[in-house]
Chains A and B, each alone.
Chain A
Amino acid sequence: MKEPFENVVARHGATVLRVCRVLLGPHDADDAWSETFLSALRAYPDLPETANVEAWLVTIAHRKAIDVLRVAKRNPLPVGEVPETPAGGDLPGSADADLWAAVKALPAKQRQAIAYRYVAGLPYAEIAQILGGTVEAARRAAADGLKNLRKNHPGAITRGASS
């Protein structure tokens, strides 16, 4: 039985927003989130009942984030790309701002792999499908991304590195 779409928004809205923030930074994440859920609502009645709803949403978000970036590239804003204080105000502290800058500096594929693995918690098999490569490539992209983040943002990520 297909549950009301509102339940899907309630259960996955926050995770999808975090994924969008990692993909695009806090500024453009709202647009990607809105596009994702509008698209999902349209397609929802045709989604098989056995589908992994979160993986489905992340797949849509992946495409929408690419669209948002494409539009941004075509119409570059005069403003700096990384806002000093992110919109929403729930990412406080300069350490976080550093992290977001480091995330933003990652190559797209690494940033995506990190978002889908560490924010959405998807298995690499799902991530490989979204990124369109092998499972091994997805795993490597996440590992490389992590390595780069550690290198460029050593302050916040020490425990994981030393254990």
Chain B
Amino acid sequence: MNDIRHDDDLSALLSTPVDADALARLHHRLEQEAEQAGLVDVAYTTIDSPVGTLLLAATPEGLVRVAFAREDHDRVLETLSQKISSRILRSPKRLDVAAREIDEYFTRRRQVFDVRLDLSLSHGFRRLVQTHLPEIAYGQTRSYRDMAELVGNPKAVRAVGTACATNPLPIVVPCHRVLRTDGTPGGYVGGLEAKTLLLDLEAAA
């Protein structure tokens, strides 16, 4: 270790700081080449929205995850690494369509999402419920009980609640349109404030 300390000056010289532009340029090139080689199993980006910074992630199949900041984006990416693949790259291009549609939604120029989805993060009953959520039209709401009946399992009210709470694609798959039977909002993965904002946005249209 001694020799390293003695040669700090040389070390410093050879390790001249790499400027951020150079790295950004190289990262961009990596995104393009990796995408061309089919090596990006999960591409992601973050966008600003009225409900805070959103993480968008997509597999080659389609949009696989939308996450609120309060879910901790680093942790969400780690989970994606475990459940889908560690070949995860910040590569905004694949998210262009989803980002544009979400922007249009928040500026009231879009009521229905038609970006391709990858539902592979959900299974069984949860996935069944999530598949039916887009049937609730823009500006409308249903109760957890309504949803349980809709999927043919009227007793599974609590399970419907769990399915909504674990929706991997909030906003795009509109779990925010499901309320308690008494009309109060109930829980939301993005927090109560976000749910209210989305409901108000749609009600005002």
| Interfacial residues, chain A to chain B (CB-CB below 8 A) | 1-6, 9, 13-14, 17-18, 22, 30, 33-34, 37-38, 41-42, 44-45, 88-91, 96, 99, 103, 114-115, 117-119, 121, 142-143, 146, 149, 156-160, 163
Contact = CB atoms under 8 A, between A and B. Distances in A.
B4 interface: yes
A13 B39 contact: no
A118 B90 contact: no
Contacts of A22: 14
Interface stretch (B15-23, B108-116, B147-155, B167-175): B15-23
A71 B22 CA distance: 23
Given A9-B27, A34-B30, A38-B34, A1 B15 contact: no
Given A42-B39, A96-B16, A6 B22 contact: no
Contacts of A115: 14
A110 to B, nearest CB: 13
Interface string B1-25: 0011011111101111111011101
B42 to A, nearest CB: 8
A81 B16 CA distance: 21
B131 to A, nearest CB: 28
B85 interface: yes
Interface stretch (B75-83, B93-101, B178-186, B190-198): B75-83
Contacts, number: 123
Interface in B56-74: none
Nearest to A17: B18
Chain B: interface size category:
35 or more
A145 B15 CA distance: 16
Given A99-B13, A103-B14, A5 B6 contact: no
A118 B30 contact: no
Contacts of B14: 18, 22, 99, 103, 114-115, 118-119
Contact of B86 (A3, A119, A158): A3
B37 A38 contact: yes
Contacts of B90: 6
Given A1-B81, A17-B18, A88-B19, 12 more contacts: A2-B86, A4-B86, A9-B89, A18-B16, A38-B34, A41-B40, A45-B85, A90-B16, A96-B13, A115-B14, A146-B10, A160-B8
B104 interface: no
- Residue of B9, B22, B34, B37 most packed against chain A (CB within 10 A): B22
B88 A146 contact: no
A118 B3 CA distance: 10
Interface string B126-161: 000000000000000000000000000000000000
Residue in A22, A118, A142 with the greatest tally of chain B CB atoms within 10 Å: A118
A14 B16 contact: no
B123 interface: no
28 contacts: A1-B78, A2-B86, A4-B77, A4-B78, A4-B88, A5-B88, A6-B90, A13-B26, A18-B14, A18-B18, A30-B26, A30-B29, A33-B26, A34-B29, A34-B33, A38-B39, A41-B40, A42-B39, A88-B21, A90-B16, A90-B18, A90-B22, A99-B14, A103-B14, A118-B4, A142-B3, A157-B7, A160-B8
